Structure 1
């Protein structure tokens, strides 16, 4: 099944505000509101309501915490291979359009390592986790809810190395959160007042420069 999309005007929108991250700038949490072009974002929202969601996905750190999931690019937490071609095979072409836009926001050596959507309803819990154990990767998390109220909860919380909360980000409309993939984080439970689906599109990105630095460090340790 293929879902038609409205014209995105991508040729006029990609990278118009410059890159999200300059080369090597991967260590801080960044939040961008309204950054994704409106037509791309609107199509992503619409398709997120049409795809087949599968319940039962979990975080390895707590297999009992289950939620909704839709796979797009495959790969896993340890994956180092680019899955961009897999994303292009998805019947909803808007994911490939968003992928192209997102890659324009990062250095040329950027690779797509994971690409999927998660969703939560009242009663489904997230759990503190990292998206990878490797240093240098970045997660781009896009919230796909048209509106959000603070009373609904559902914020993404970020933790420091001591387990203390350092930041809480509400899933606002067209909000893109970029953070180190190895930083501990968790989606917080939804309140009973929310009766919809909290949807996030998650993309993990890797960089050739980070791979080279890691290899050099490992080589130096081995030589030492």
Structure 2
């Protein structure tokens, strides 16, 4: 496992997700658990929905921790140990507000957005794709405050974790290939 601070408070940790966690996540995300649409929090005149699986975080609007909710979810309870391991990794002062899975398909970029507009907070993204050649794209792209310049792009990589200040504008790019079989 290697933790690397890249730029502007963006951290990349390779091989942090264990192989057994990756297998468990992929098993739980296979099947008819995905819904297509993501709430439009920014109240934009257009919608750019993505595939989404809600796991925990009902108290997010009130900024309540969802750790107890996650621990009460038998299927996803194993992520509590991931969170504890992550919390011990660095002196990040944080509360787990939400756990969910997002996915993009070919031609479906997300809008440039901020996860935390008004409150400081970290975003933790886990890439749980078992196989993802770099030629497939799907980068997590970070922008400057004006959303005019790319400051960093991080490729999906099996078991990679990306941590960043949620106020940093970012977007997920769509895969550059069409596949008959979905890949997480």
CA distance in 1, matches of 2:93, 2:143: 28
Higher strand share: 1
Q: What aligned pairs does 1:23-172 form with structure 2 within 5 A after superposition?
A: 28-50=9-31, 52-61=33-42, 62=44, 63-75=46-58, 78-92=61-75, 93-107=77-91, 110-134=94-118, 136-163=120-147, 164-172=149-157
Residue in structure 2 matched with residue 180 of structure 1 by the alignment? 165
Contact 1:120 1:197 in 2 (8 A): no
DSSP-derived class of the 1:72 partner = strand
CA distance in 2, matches of 1:49, 1:114: 20
Deviation readout 1:151-191 (Å, 9 max, x if unpaired): 21210100011321011111111111010011100001222
DSSP-derived class of the 1:49 partner = coil
| 1:138 to 1:172, Cα distance in 2 relative to 1, 3 A | same
Deviation of residue 69 (structure 1)? 0.8
Deviation readout 1:100-144 (Å, 9 max, x if unpaired): 333333448531112111112223331111111135311110001
Residue in structure 2 matched with residue 217 of structure 1 by the alignment? none
Provide the aligned C-alpha RMSD in A.
2.7
What is the count of residue pairs matched by the alignment?
A: 177
Moved more, 179-188 or 95-104: 95-104
Q: Which runs of 5+ in 1 are unaligned?
A: 1-16, 22-26, 200-224
DSSP-derived class of the 1:158 partner = strand
TM-score after normalising by structure 1:
0.68
Q: Which runs of 5+ in 2 are unaligned?
A: none
Deviation of residue 192 (structure 1)? 3.2
Deviation of residue 33 (structure 1)? 0.9
Contact 1:78 1:132 in 2 (8 A): no
CA distance in 2, matches of 1:73, 1:115: 5
